[in-house]
Amino acid sequence: MMDYQQQLDLQAYLDGELSEAKARRVAAWLAQDAEAAALAIELRQTRSAVTGYEKEIRLPESREFYWSKIQREIQRQERAEPNAERLPEWLKVIRRLLMPATAMAMVAFIAVMVGRQPTGIPSETALTDTGAMTYRDFEKGATLVWLSYPADNEFADYEAAMFE
Amino acid sequence: MKDLSSAEDQELVRAAQGGDMPAFEELVARHRDKLYARAYTMMRNEEEAIDLTQEAWVKGWQRLGQFHGESSFGTWMTRIVINLCLDQLRKQKRQRTESLDEINEESGGVERQMPVVTVNPTAGLERVELRQRIDRALGQMSYEHRTVLVLHEFEEMEYKQIAKEMKCSIGTVMSRLFYARRKLAALLADLRKGDTQ
């Protein structure tokens, strides 16, 4: 009886996903094993039944109506954020690179401001836009800075770029 | 651009990249059925498929600058709609309990014990009927199994590409694909038995 890994190897062989050496081994085994041969026939038949037989589905809306909704949405988004998505790629890269630097600068600025506080009470400051937080302990004279990188909004940009 | 209907996709894309909206509208008209079919096969819901394809077209317009013709425009747009469908399906999955298919697959693989379907369950069927049966069988599967079949058989993606799209390992892709094929063979055979009874 075939084990699960052998069944998956057989499938990978039929899909052309194995290395040459492994494909030769599976082919030799397939030629001798009746159970493997029967499974191979079933997998091939299923594949040929599916390939090229996707049901023909047509969009149930007229060209004009469908397009009018898309056009409206494009215009709405362009009004909301003009040219943001259509920036050249190099400009987006610079924007992505500058974001952490801006965050660092803001953190440094906040750290300096916190350092100037006249009271001796430990304080925490959160920067919601950058995902950074500082903690100042005056007694010990220590300042801790947490940086979450990439910041949420930047990660979304990065993901959008990777998506392509 | 004067005659949009006779222009090649590439010319229309170039014009649309320059901000020509009528050229983009022509591209939408040409590829809208294919995109909708892909979304519908994955979502099994007309309204969601329409909404997601519209969202894909909006994103397509916004990202036209990133399209450099490595694939055809239709393929590029199909990838966008597939990603939107997968995001939506993942969101829906977080809100519902596991399907019977998922439990079966994860609890030790009933597909390993399924008897092999020895007779071709599709032999002698008319093209239209075969398409309907496959569609019905796909409708009875969990979204993970349906999607892996759609991406492999319809989109002709390799295991590696599917794993990337579905954010899972190649081993999971192989396992899901195996389960989906065996289940599909059994479902098609059942439909055939139903005919003869």
In terms of phi and psi (left: phi > 0; alpha: psi -120 to 50; beta: otherwise), the region of B57 is alpha
| DSSP summary character for residue B19 | T
Mean pLDDT throughout B120-143? Answer: 82
Q: How far is the alpha carbon of A100 from chain B, nearest alpha carbon, in Å?
A: 24
- For residue A54, what pLDDT is reported? 78
A50 and B177 within 8 Å at the Cβ level: the answer is: no
C-alpha–C-alpha distance, residues B80 and B57, integer Å = 9
Q: How far is the alpha carbon of A45 from chain B, nearest alpha carbon, in Å?
A: 7
- Of all residues in chain B, the one with the smallest CA distance to A10 is B178
Mean pLDDT throughout A31-54? Answer: 90
A13-33 pLDDT per residue, tens: 999 999 999 999 999 999 999
- Of B39, B72, B56, nearest to B147 (Cα)? B39
- For residue B9, what pLDDT is reported? 96
Mean pLDDT throughout B178-184? Answer: 93
B178 and A8 within 8 Å at the Cβ level: the answer is: yes
Residue with more model confidence, A5 or A116 = A5
A69 and B54 within 8 Å at the Cβ level: the answer is: yes
Confidence of residue B192 (pLDDT cuts 50, 70, 90): low
Query: Do residues B177 and B161 make contact, with C-beta atoms less than 8 angstroms apart?
Result: no
DSSP letter string, A8-41: HHHHHHHTT-S-HHHHHHHHHHHHH-HHHHHHHH
Surface of B (98-157) touching A: CB under 8 A = 109, 112, 116-118, 120-122, 127, 130-132, 134-135, 149, 152-154
pTM of the model: 0.70
B139-175 pLDDT per residue, tens: 889 889 999 999 999 999 999 999 999 999 999 999 9
Is pLDDT of B24 > 90? yes
> Is A15 in CB contact (< 8 Å) with chain B?
yes
Mean pLDDT throughout B34-59? Answer: 96
- Residue A55 has its nearest CB partner, among B62, B132, B181, at B132
Residue with tokens 């390799």: B158
CA angle B136-B141-B146, nearest 5°?
A: 95
What backbone phi and psi angles, to 5 degrees, belong to B96? Answer: -135, 170
Mean pLDDT throughout B46-50? Answer: 97
CA B24 to chain centre: 23
Contacts of B88 (CB under 8 A, 6+ apart): B43, B48, B52
A73 and B58 within 8 Å at the Cβ level: the answer is: yes
ipTM over 0.85: no
Confidence of residue A157 (pLDDT cuts 50, 70, 90): very low
- For residue B156, what pLDDT is reported? 92
What backbone phi and psi angles, to 5 degrees, belong to A51? Answer: -60, 125
* Averaged confidence pLDDT in chain B: 87
- For residue A164, what pLDDT is reported? 40
- For residue A156, what pLDDT is reported? 41
B159 and A39 within 8 Å at the Cβ level: the answer is: no
B174 and A12 within 8 Å at the Cβ level: the answer is: yes
Which residue out of A22, A55, A71 would a mutagenesis test of the B interface target, given it has the greatest number of B Cβ atoms within 10 Å? A55
- For residue B125, what pLDDT is reported? 73
Any idea which of A159-163, B45-49, B73-77, B175-179 has the lowest mean pLDDT?
A: A159-163
Confidence of residue A159 (pLDDT cuts 50, 70, 90): very low
Q: How far is the alpha carbon of A122 from chain B, nearest alpha carbon, in Å?
A: 41
Strand positions, DSSP E, chain A: 123-127, 132-137, 142-147
Q: Which residues in chain A are closer than 8 Å to B33, comparing Cβ atoms? A: 57-59
A60-105 pLDDT per residue, tens: 999 999 999 999 999 999 998 765 555 666 666 776 777 777 777 7
Mean pLDDT throughout B80-87? Answer: 96
- Other CB atoms closer than 10 Å to residue A16's CB: what's the count? 8
Is pLDDT of B185 > 70? yes
Which residue out of B27, B82, B134, B148 would a mutagenesis test of the A interface target, given it has the greatest number of A Cβ atoms within 10 Å? B134
Query: Do residues B134 and B121 make contact, with C-beta atoms less than 8 angstroms apart?
Result: no
Is pLDDT of B132 > 80? yes
Query: Do residues B176 and B144 make contact, with C-beta atoms less than 8 angstroms apart?
Result: yes
- Of B138, B177, B179, B135, nearest to B158 (Cα)? B177
Residue with more model confidence, B138 or A143 = B138
Contacts of B127 (CB under 8 A, 6+ apart): A53
Confidence of residue A162 (pLDDT cuts 50, 70, 90): very low
A121-136 pLDDT per residue, tens: 665 555 555 556 667 7
Surface of A (66-95) touching B: CB under 8 A = 66-67, 69-71, 73-74, 77, 85-89
* Averaged confidence pLDDT in chain A: 77
Query: Do residues A43 and B183 make contact, with C-beta atoms less than 8 angstroms apart?
Result: no
Contacts of A71 (CB under 8 A, 6+ apart): B21, B25
Q: Which residues in chain A are closer than 8 Å to B64, comparing Cβ atoms? A: 86
Which residue out of B17, B36, B71, B138 would a mutagenesis test of the A interface target, given it has the greatest number of A Cβ atoms within 10 Å? B36
